[in-house]
Amino acid sequence: MAEPPGSCQEVDIAAVARLYDAMAGEYAGRYGDDLRPGSGDRAFLEVALESARADGPVLDLGCGPGQIAAIAASWGLPAIGVDVSLNMLAVARRRVPQATFIAGDARALPLASRSCRAVAAFYWFHHVPRPLLPAVLAEARRVLRPGGTLVIAAHLGAGERWVTKESESLRVTLYGRDELAGHVRDAGFDVESVGTRVPRPDEFQAEHGFLRARLA
């Protein structure tokens, strides 16, 4: 079977936006409470965000329905969510009215340099082809203040594959745990913690990885 057109060095942002626009309501209903108290993902996130308690703000990058922004807001921290899907942003604004949500691309964030205390990016790095990952991490570094925290959760694996959902065909990229940590170090971060967990039956069936890093 022939592969859909496109280079592994490119990402079709419009196709990603269409996919999540089409599934915004379903996605929020299915995954909106994934970061509930007591979950492993929530515990890892809270440890990572402790550094932002003093002054924030927290950037929920690729925010979807705003799960991370909701946690930051519940702590009394200013929170900003950025996503390419307008429908996801609309859902996030309804769910977390205390936060600010902005349409934007992770490769060119609509935020000032050194404007955030923490950047959290959960489960969307599979939409970033390997050649583009340095640019995404460079943007996260740019918007972080010195001493700021970067926390990532990602589906782990190797290589690229095509997936079709909601009539959209997208190439996804899976990173190994050590590979991802190496990219983060190369971007100028000190990696403080790396961990993994097995997926639940209702999740994408790949090992889940967690990484916490700090900007010197």
The arithmetic mean of pLDDT across residues 44-51, rounded, is 81
Name residue 1's amino acid: M
Question: What CATH number should be reported for the domain holding residue 40?
Answer: 3.40.50.150
- CA-to-CA distance for 145 and 73, rounded, in angstroms? 19
Instruction: Give the pLDDT band of residue 205 (cuts 50, 70, 90).
Output: low
- CA-to-CA distance for 68 and 145, rounded, in angstroms? 19
Domain that holds residue 142: 13-215
The total domain count for the chain is: 1
Asked if the structure places residue 52 within a domain, the reply is yes
Asked if the structure places residue 5 within a domain, the reply is no
Residue 172 has pLDDT above 80, yes or no: yes
Asked if the structure places residue 89 within a domain, the reply is yes
Instruction: Give the pLDDT band of residue 41 (cuts 50, 70, 90).
Output: confident
- For 1-32, write each residue's pLDDT tens digit: 334 444 445 678 999 999 999 989 887 887 76
- The gap from C-alpha 51 to its chain's centroid, in whole angstroms, comes to 18
- The gap from C-alpha 130 to its chain's centroid, in whole angstroms, comes to 15
Asked if the structure places residue 174 within a domain, the reply is yes
Asked if the structure places residue 6 within a domain, the reply is no
* Global pTM value: 0.88
- For 117-158, write each residue's pLDDT tens digit: 999 999 999 999 999 999 999 999 999 999 999 999 999 999
